[in-house]
Structure 1
Amino acid sequence: MFRHSQLESVTAWLAHPAHAAMPLHARIQRAIRQLILDGALGPGKPLPASRALAKSLGVSRDTIEAAYAQLHAEGFIERRVGSGSFVSEMTEFTPGRRISQRDALLRNQAPNLSKRGNGMFQSGGVREMLSPRPFAHGVPETRSFPLQLWERLERQVLKELGTSALHHGDPQGAEALRRAIADYVNLERGARATADRVLVLTSSQQAMTLCANMLLDPGDRIFIEDPAYYGARKAFDAAGLECVPVCVDRQGIVVERIMDDPRRAKAVFLTPSHQFPTGATLALDRRLALIEWAARHQAWIIEDDYDSEFHYAGKPTACVQGLDPHDRTIYIGTFTKSLFPGLRIGYVVLPPQLVKPMTVARTLLDGHTASIAQLTLARFMDGGHFGAHVRAMRGIYAQRLDVLARLVHTHLSEFVEPRVPIGGLQMPCLLTCDISERAAIDAARRVGIELLGLSALHAVGGGKAGFLMGFAAYTPSELEVAVRKLANALHMVKGG
């Protein structure tokens, strides 16, 4: 018969909510197996008779027999006719056996990761909120997405392609979608793209990781805007690159710092159409200077055009890739913000010489992007629905930005100075009071409000304290409630 502690352990396994989905006999089998692995039931020890254990646990004898049968099949117990069931003889290498104190300590230490693995782990990754709340940045409005239209297009894809839509897809991406993307970026962004230069990925983050690992070696230098999108810096840091911060002014990245640098860098990362997080647009003369610099030094320009669809004052400036006659620019785009995050489709427009290497490399990551989603998106774009959706959202977001700016002026003017952007999904606000950025963010979180601090986006000190306020995913009434909550929270910090 089990000792009292062993019986309690089995009972706890049965009652644990995490195991509720398992059949009863499987829970009992797993609980006994764990006792064996932990050494609580040693080799040769007898197990209770099935009738006795069934009575102790309040289950049927057949349930215990099924658990014992599985333990026997896996080699954990021996069943001897006329004698009962016994724990099998284990080798000294069995988990839970003969573990020294030193081994137990080592098991609880940090994992022995590679340098690159440790860099990725220590970066904290890029975390997105599963259920965003005001004022989470970079989140689009999804409640008004034409879901029924999307479902109808998806049904068309499945009806026409049948089970062939369930097979592996082209690692480069479905041709129909690559063609639609090329047509879109050529028309709307002034790009120089063809379907055979487009690589469909799952996200812009994947694109940056590919660039970091395929175009540069550990220790190579890359110029990066300061402040910059945190996901880019983390991708480059994790790849072992030396990120060289270059300050940003009202005309974008200061290119003189790049031109005058005596040590050669192999790439520069830009968000030229709408700099993250300042909202600055890179001036034409600086774009042309960077294109010539890249050609002269055989360096790469990595251009992230992350939310160019949402420009609220005239047409956005054409992308750098469309101005580059030397094919040194990699153009990154995504549908995460223009449609919805769950779609998981991004893309790069590549120089011809990089298409094959990059496509081969992505097969080592995830093979290909989900085929049905790609083909549905291609129809969504070809039918003009993507353009219509973007135009509708642009009007809604412009209205919400205006509402947020007025609310901040009314309720938060004693705390912050808003920098109303001409595009994007978030508004920067600079702190003008004696409340620290950390205190403001913590106070907001306590009342259910999310803010992204600006200072953390600077690699070099000197950035002004403040935060980003995302507005795209929240109705005017939701924005008003959240701004009032934030104002009350900041008043409490200031008064306390």
Structure 2
Amino acid sequence: MQAWLVHPAYAALPLHARIQRAVRQLIVDGALGPGRPLPASRALARSLGVSRDTVEAAYCQLHAEGFIDRRVGSGSFVAEVKAFSAAQKVPPRDALQRHKEPSLSKRGAAMSRSGGVREQLVPRPFAPGVPETRSFPLSLWERLERQVLKETGTQALLHGDPQGAEPLRRAIADYVNLERGAHASADRVLVLTSSQQAMALCANMLLDPGDRIFIEDPVYYGARKAFDAAGLECVPIPVDHQGITVERILSQPHKAKAVFLTPSHQFPTGATLALDRRLSLIEWAGKHQTWIIEDDYDSEFHYAGKPTACMQGLDPHDRTIYIGTFTKSLFPGLRIAYVVLPPQLVKPMTVARTLLDGHTASIAQLTLARFMDGGHFGAYVRTMRGVYCERLDALVGLVRTHLSAFVEPRIPIGGLQMPCVLTCGLPECTAIDAARRVGVELLGLSALHASGAGEAGFLMGFAAYTPIELDVAVRKLAGALKAATNP
């Protein structure tokens, strides 16, 4: 028991709590069996060098929890709890941790096997999908946040509207209508914490386990994992230079209940879905009462003219769910995304959202609403669009100079990353491992192809890294690939 009093892990606990936990553990381990007398509080206090009141406090807590019985005139005894008898002793914590196969539901097992969607806490080149955060106008954001707190007071500390703060929903609706050609209103917007949450909601609310969903091939890994975790059967449809090949869907119209798309800037190829294909999919969804899940993840950053309008604004049948996020346009730590829903889905989706996390943080929502209403969001996006365009140009030049013997760049017209196809015969996994050993992060392309027919290569994120940082990283990568090619 003395060990508990000096153990560094319990240093923050008061003495009586340390004694109480030590005695409780001896009972749980079976070292103190049912009915066994405990030392008198005075004797134990003398032995441990603490006050009698400290021991009394520990015994009182053990009695309240049912671990010991206290009998007036007789002393304290281990309670008659069969669960902690020697024959039924609880295994040590280390033994519990050694079990490799926990008892999970089918859905839980699928989620665990997927590995989840994890982002680097401190991204390094060339982690894709990461925006520049070092130049974000924090002082402006802090000033707007102070204004929110001054006007709302403690009201902002309470539970918020599960659908989202009305000022932010209104600002989002105005933005997507003006900039993305959407057909939205504040009452059709649901504010969430991430686009990943939006995809999980769609998968679980619109389809049943075993239902089929058409997905792009290649496809965004987070979407595939969300659909797999929901028990859906993903049907891959090839992507060409005009986006998803709609003919494959139209030839088997009843094979799936939904389709997932990144039509404005396909991930990872960068293709834009052609207008005639968009209209064909919209008619297919209206005719067969299927759903279109449109992920518009980075359309703010388009470097060659204006981006194509979203599909949701073209859909007269209200079969399109439009997903947007501020993770890439502002910063990942904001944790605010949104969906523009058909009217009939607003209530059920909002109810379902309350079962996940209740609502998005109110202070951040209201601050973002002011940021958008004040014109700061548009100005910031325009500034960063120029910055990212310069960084893309820098990366293209560096790749052509230092990596031309290994890869062929596929220069995108937008987004935060550039696909590169391996041309040197080096296996993709070998290239990625070689890069990681020199501190360079690459996302392989082949794993994004559900059909397994994709070209070997990788994505190179550029938005979060300065031209100097890109130059250093490209040179490291060139050295790593050269070493891997000629071991």
CA contact (8 A) 1:14 1:27 kept: no
Residue aligned with 1:93, SS = helix
Gaps of 5+ in 1: 1-6
Q: How has the CA–CA distance of structure 1 residues 16 and 198 changed in structure 2, closer, same or farther, with 3 Å as cutoff?
A: same
Equivalent-residue separation in structure 1 for 2:37 and 2:440 (angstroms): 58
Among 98, 101, 116, the alignment partner of 2:88 is 98
TM value normalised by structure 1 = 0.91
CA contact (8 A) 1:452 1:467 kept: yes
**Structure 1, residues 336-385: CA drift from partner, whole Å, max 9, x if none?**
11111111111111111111121122122222111111111111100001
Q: Which residue of 1 aligns with 2:107?
A: 116
Among 150, 159, 166, the alignment partner of 1:168 is 159
CA contact (8 A) 1:225 1:269 kept: yes
Shift of 1:407: 1.8
Among 32, 36, 61, the alignment partner of 1:41 is 32
CA contact (8 A) 2:28 2:89 kept: no
Shift of 1:284: 0.9
Deviates further, 140-149 or 56-65: 56-65
- Equivalent residues in 2 for 1:67-466, closer than 5 Å: 67-79=58-70, 85-90=76-81, 92-94=82-84, 98-99=88-89, 108=99, 110-261=101-252, 263-466=254-457
Q: How has the CA–CA distance of structure 1 residues 289 and 13 changed in structure 2, closer, same or farther, with 3 Å as cutoff?
A: farther
Whichever residue aligns with residue 83 of structure 2, its letter is: F
CA contact (8 A) 2:419 2:457 kept: yes
RMSD: 2.5
Equivalent-residue separation in structure 1 for 2:469 and 2:108 (angstroms): 41
Shift of 1:76: 2.3
Equivalent-residue separation in structure 1 for 2:243 and 2:303 (angstroms): 18
Equivalent-residue separation in structure 2 for 1:465 and 1:63 (angstroms): 67
CA contact (8 A) 1:38 1:97 kept: no
Shift of 1:94: 4.2
Gaps of 5+ in 2: none
Q: How has the CA–CA distance of structure 1 residues 158 and 31 changed in structure 2, closer, same or farther, with 3 Å as cutoff?
A: same
Equivalent-residue separation in structure 2 for 1:15 and 1:460 (angstroms): 55
**Structure 1, residues 278-320: CA drift from partner, whole Å, max 9, x if none?**
1111111111111111111111110000000111111111101
Shift of 1:474: 1.5
Shift of 1:395: 1.1
Q: How has the CA–CA distance of structure 1 residues 165 and 226 changed in structure 2, closer, same or farther, with 3 Å as cutoff?
A: same
Q: How has the CA–CA distance of structure 1 residues 297 and 22 changed in structure 2, closer, same or farther, with 3 Å as cutoff?
A: same
Shift of 1:32: 3.0
TM value normalised by structure 2 = 0.92
Equivalent-residue separation in structure 2 for 1:288 and 1:67 (angstroms): 72
Q: Which residue of 2 aligns with 1:3?
A: none
Percent pairwise identity? 80
Equivalent-residue separation in structure 2 for 1:422 and 1:37 (angstroms): 64
Whichever residue aligns with residue 32 of structure 1, its letter is: V
Equivalent-residue separation in structure 2 for 1:448 and 1:95 (angstroms): 54
Q: How has the CA–CA distance of structure 1 residues 436 and 156 changed in structure 2, closer, same or farther, with 3 Å as cutoff?
A: same
Shift of 1:274: 0.5
CA contact (8 A) 2:5 2:15 kept: no
Shift of 1:185: 0.4
**Structure 1, residues 65-103: CA drift from partner, whole Å, max 9, x if none?**
54444333323234567776543332x2349761599xx
Deviates further, 221-230 or 473-482: 473-482
Equivalent-residue separation in structure 2 for 1:13 and 1:222 (angstroms): 58
